[in-house]
Amino acid sequence: MTHHRQAIHRLDYAPPAFLVDRVDLTFDLGETFTRVTSRLVVERNKQSSDTTAPLTLDGEELELESIKLDGAPLPRDRYQITDSALIIPDIEDEAILEIVTRINPAANTCLMGLYQSGGNLFTQCEAEGFRRITYYIDRPDVMARFTTTIIADKTKYPVLLSNGNRISEGTMDRNRHWVKWVDPFRKPSYLFALVAGKLVSLCGQHTTGRGKTVNIEIFVEAGNLDKCHHALAAAQKAMRWDEERFGLEYDLDTYMIVATSDFNMGAMENKGLNIFNTKFVLAKPDTATDADFEGIDAVVAHEYFHNWTGNRVTCRDWFQLSLKEGLTVYRDQEFSSDIGSRAVQRIQNVRTLREMQFAEDAGPQAHPVRPDTYIEINNFYTMTVYEKGAEVVRMIATLLGREGFRKGMELYFNRHDGKAVTCDDFVAAMADANGIDLEQFKRWYSQAGTPKLNIDGAYDEQAKTFTLTVRQSCPATPGQENKQPLHIPLAVGLIDRRGQDLPLQLAGECAPTGTTRVLELRRPVETFTFTQVPCLPVPSLLRDFSAPVRLDYAWSDEDLVFLMAHDSDAFARWEAANAYATRLLIGQYHVAAEGATVAAPVDFLEALRSLLVQEDLDPALVALMLELPSERMLLEEIPDVDPARLHQVCLAIKQQIARELRPEILRTYLALNNGEPYRYTSTDVARRSLKNVCLAYLAELDEAMVSEALLNQYSRADNMTDRLAALKALANRNGEEQLADFATRWKDDALVMDKWFALQAQSRRPGALSRVQKLMEHPAFSIRNPNKVRALIGTFCHQNLAHFHAEDGYGYAFAADRIIELDRLNPQIAARLAACFNRWKQVEPKRRAMMREELERIAGEENLSSDTYEIVTKALQA
């Protein structure tokens, strides 16, 4: 591994000195010794101002066997080799290179480049993994035509896959066979993929609107075929959706998905050959939860959608990552909204954004959606680039309307198909297609930090007007002291005392235009006066979360209860419940700090009770409204926070709700726990979600009836959603027997065992850390497997706040030890884990000092990877 630590700057971008027209690769595969022969047709780039630059090919951990230039061996004094490049100074404007290198997939623990997993071979190239396969100009603005010939042992590697179309195959001596793939589309090297191994496949089809038949093939290890049907259906749904919503069709004959259990992230959109973490492919009702099924729909759609937003039009440089990621997340969120419940989808997305992206934006790693500088690009596959990036695209869609947005997408593809472009190009297509000005809006790409809106509302009884005064501001972030005002769409409504939406008419307009209005903020302070307002209304602000901002409006508790019951915008109803609970929990945290007893007011409890007794509400929404804000989210709201106290307060309120609403919760639980067989339909998913929220509350009661209900649900469930919900509660009680039973039952299913590890890592019972340490010795655990690390160690460090932040500091020391250990094996996974120290300045001084010490200990390690180095040094500097 190279440990470059130099910052790269967006404004230093220069077009590549050379382009690659064709790449012909031949892989002679072996697990410890793979020979890669690469034939490159290169030419000097006329767009480059540097007309004498040497040809520089990136390469890492490669062993060069031979190199030929235009057919003749290249003498040793005609090229240089460093630990990150092969440099040929003296070269014609057009040249053909033949480079032979060897690599060792079995020794590859960072899972970038070509690596081994379960005896099979896989590649991961984004962002800069191709340079670990062969010497190449490994940057996204070099787009070439690829062919790939794979030679391998027939018995060990019967299936040989790469991008594009399989055009020929044959057998060879020594039990070997070969397959040749041709990708008709130009692509950057990060989209290259190769898979070889013993795999079986589930095949399906999709017929496009124009009548073309596309084959869909899902490859998995033997024994998993019965878990691929949901993923196949997801691919079919995604193909149909993209045609209907955006007119985008698949462009190859076959779309392949391959699943591996060793993968650094969720999945990868390689052209025609997507590689997935098994977590986002394999599912059946008895092994996967409803959330897993939803995750598969979303990730399959996301990777499939990348074929247009990412592959056909790609990024000019890695600073533009959100060009493909923000847009593709927006697309997958819209897909999920269309196949499920739009309101539920929106609430879940906003919850994630608040809990994780707002935290990132408020901490030492804060960066704009289009970053200006990075040390290690892998650290920039962030919540900001993905989720805030998607919010930025969503705001454009809100400003343009659905048709306007589609026109913008059409212009974007007309202009840029087959090219590597920038975020500015995307915004320009949107603006030009609609004849509007998005110059100020572009600051959303360049400015980090979560903006804040302070809103006042004033009713003029005499004039019958209601005036909103909106002040926007944005806190300083590392490297960005002063912020400029943003162009922000603010969706609002006004609700009268009977709970009816008022028609909205702004001063100067002659007629009302609907009941939800998107106000456009541009200046630091804006006022909007609504006329013909008959009585004092309750304003509903930021409907559907129309912008990724924090909002401050002085709603009374009664207003919030009123909005929970009456807002016509489902998101806003949930938001009112969430705001009320947040306010209450923060208030009670301070009450606890003064030593007083924690309690929720009657009004709050009654508001929740009324959700449970109304029959006509969507159970999924009720479930979301009943769930208290996470400790992780609350931690962001309390400076100098004591996480242990926060945990106690949340627990006390949860227990109080359980006690006081016991009859309603129990009745709801029993009504929903009706023994009907499992079906994965949105109605049933919604009902299960409410049932299991009720179960979680009941589990707070120390009653024999509850223990019995938990044991019953655990043992009788015909699906993983219900079984796991019961086991989760049992893991907080004395559920040793059930935990052991679960492990015996599922010991051979890696994904189910991940759930088992995560449950225990989350458990709030005393001794959580020592149990986690003990579980690291369990035969199903491996520090080399990212899913296992995330399930056990990641869950403990990021989600079990009470134990991670234990007063003795052992949680911090444990995290630091693991980060150091992982850094030598897999820097990307180590750096992700290191983010658990990001908010050290938010916690109270004693813990803060201990966290800082651990950060310093990590930073002091010799040979730290650039990944971990960047995260810990930024955490310490900020």
Show which residues are catalytic.
Answer: 303
Task: Check the CA dihedral 190-194-199-204 and report its sign.
Answer: positive
Decide whether 264 or 668 has the Cβ nearer to ligand B3K. Answer: 264
Name the binder of 265 from ligand B3K, Zn ion, none, CB < 5-8 A by kind: ligand B3K
Interface pick for ligand B3K out of 131, 302, 543, 839 (rule CB under 6 A)? 302
8-state DSSP, 127: T
Give the residue nearest to ligand B3K (CB): 126
Q: Please say which residue, 134 or 328, places its beta carbon nearer to Zn ion.
A: 328
Segment interacting with ligand B3K (CB under 6 A) among 244-252, 300-308, 396-404, 571-579: 300-308
Q: How many CA atoms lie within 13 A of 745 on its CB side?
A: 15
Q: How many residues bind ligand B3K (CB under 6 A)?
A: 12
Give all strands (DSSP E) within 172-241, no chain letters.
176-182, 194-197, 200-207, 213-220
Stretch that binds ligand B3K, among 98-106, 267-275, 345-353, 810-818 (CB under 6 A): 267-275
Nearer to Zn ion among residue 314 and residue 719 (C-beta): 314
- Residue 332 touches which of ligand B3K, Zn ion, none (Cβ within 5-8 Å per kind): none
Among the residues of 4-75, which ranges form H helices?
A: none
- Those residues whose C-beta lies under 8 Å from the C-beta of residue 541, and which sit 6 or more positions away, are 455, 468, 490, 492, 551, 553, 572
Between residue 325 and residue 344, which ones bind Zn ion under the rule CB under 5 A?
A: 325, 328
Q: Measured from the CB of residue 385, what is the shortest distance to ligand B3K in angstroms?
A: 9
Q: How many residues bind to Zn ion according to rule CB under 5 A?
A: 2
Residue closer to ligand B3K, measured from CB, 56 or 378: 378
**Which residue, chain included where needed, has tokens 């906003």?**
350
CB contact at 8 A, 349 and 388: no
From the list Zn ion, ligand B3K, none, pick the one residue 126 interacts with, judged by a Cβ distance below 5 to 8 Å according to partner type.
ligand B3K
Out of 31, 269, 297, 749, point to the residue binding ligand B3K (CB under 6 A). Answer: 269
Part of the chain binding ligand B3K (CB under 6 A), chosen from 7-15, 97-105, 260-268, 512-520:
260-268
377 or 759: whose CB is closer to ligand B3K? 377
Pairing of strands 8-9, 373-374: antiparallel
- Span of 262-270, 363-371, 405-413, 638-646 interacting with ligand B3K by CB under 6 A: 262-270
Least distance from C-beta 17 to ligand B3K, angstroms?
25
127 binds, among Zn ion, ligand B3K, none (CB under 5 to 8 A by kind): ligand B3K
d(CA 431, CA 315): 19
Shortest distance in whole angstroms from residue 183 CB to ligand B3K:
18
Residue whose token pair is 């879940």: 348
Residue of 248, 220, 222, 249 whose CA lies nearest to 232 = 220
580 binds, among ligand B3K, Zn ion, none (CB under 5 to 8 A by kind): none
Helices of type H across 519-639: 557-566, 570-593, 602-613, 619-626, 631-635
Per DSSP, the residues of 348-412 read HHHHHIIIIIHHHHHSTT---SS-SEES-GGGG--HIIIIIHHHHHHHHHHHHHHHHHHHHHHHH
Q: How far is the CB of 367 from ligand B3K (least distance, A)?
A: 16
Considering only residues 102 through 131, tell me which ones interact with ligand B3K, judged by CB under 6 A. Answer: 126-127
> What is the closest distance, in whole angstroms, from the C-beta atom of residue 751 to ligand B3K in the complex?
19
The residue range among 281-289, 298-306, 796-804, 856-864 that interacts with ligand B3K, by the rule CB under 6 A, is: 298-306
Shortest spacing between CB 280 and ligand B3K, in angstroms: 10
297 binds ligand B3K (CB under 6 A): no
By CB under 6 A, tell whether 45 contacts ligand B3K.
no
**Residue number with CB closer to Zn ion (162 or 309):** 309
- DSSP β-bridge partners for residue 43: 19, 94
CA separation for the pair 570, 594 (Å, rounded) = 37
Nearest to 749 by CA among 230, 261, 115, 198: 261
SS (H, E, C) 487-538: CEEEEEEEECCCCCECCCCECCCCCCCCCCEEEEECCCEEEEEECCCCCCCE
With CB under 5 to 8 Å by kind, the binding choice for 425 among Zn ion, ligand B3K, none is none
Q: Are 593 and 612 in contact (CB under 8 A)?
A: no
The widest CA-to-CA distance across the chain, in whole angstroms, is 95
323 contributes a contact to ligand B3K by CB under 6 A: no
d(CA 794, CA 788): 9
Least Cβ distance, residue 380 to Zn ion (angstroms): 13
| Tally of residues, the chain | 878
Q: Is there a contact between 38 and 23 (Cβ–Cβ < 8 Å)? A: yes
Which residue among 60, 292, 303, 360 contacts ligand B3K (CB under 6 A)?
A: 303
Q: 151: closest CA among 173, 176, 134, 175?
A: 176
Q: Is residue 617 within a helix (H) or strand (E), and if so which, with residue range?
A: none
Smallest gap from Cβ 126 to ligand B3K, in A, equals 4
Q: Give the nearest distance from C-beta 292 to Zn ion in angstroms.
A: 19
Nearer to ligand B3K, 303 or 361 (CB): 303
Contacted by 60, from ligand B3K, Zn ion, none: CB < 5 to 8 Å by type? none
Please identify, among the stretches 264-272, 399-407, 487-495, 568-576, the one whose residues bind ligand B3K according to the rule CB under 6 A: 264-272
Binding to ligand B3K by CB under 6 A, coded x per residue (else -) over 67-106, reads ----------------------------------------
How many helices (H) and strands (E) in the chain? 29, 31
Q: Which of 1, 152, 235, 265 lies at the binding interface for ligand B3K (CB under 6 A)?
A: 265
Task: Determine contact, residues 379/871, Cβ cutoff 8 Å.
Answer: yes
Please, which residue, 31 or 269, has the CB nearer to ligand B3K?
269
- Rounded to the nearest whole angstrom, what is the least distance from the CB of residue 657 to ligand B3K in the complex? 38
Pairing of strands 488-495, 517-521: antiparallel
Please give the structure tokens belonging to residue 725.
């919900």
Q: State in angstroms the smallest separation of the CB of 315 from ligand B3K.
A: 10
Nearer to ligand B3K, 331 or 647 (CB): 331
266 versus 512: smaller Cβ distance to ligand B3K: 266
Phi, psi at 57, each rounded to 5°: -110, 135
Bridge partners of residue 114, in order along the sequence:
123
Residues 370-399 that bind ligand B3K (CB under 6 A): 378, 381
State yes or no: residue 268 binds ligand B3K (CB under 6 A): yes
For every residue of 338-360, DSSP letters joined together read HHS-HHHHHHHHHHHIIIIIHHH
Residue ranges that bind Zn ion, judged by CB under 5 A: 325, 328
Q: Which positions lie near ligand B3K, rule CB under 6 A?
A: 126-127, 265, 267-269, 302-303, 306, 325, 378, 381
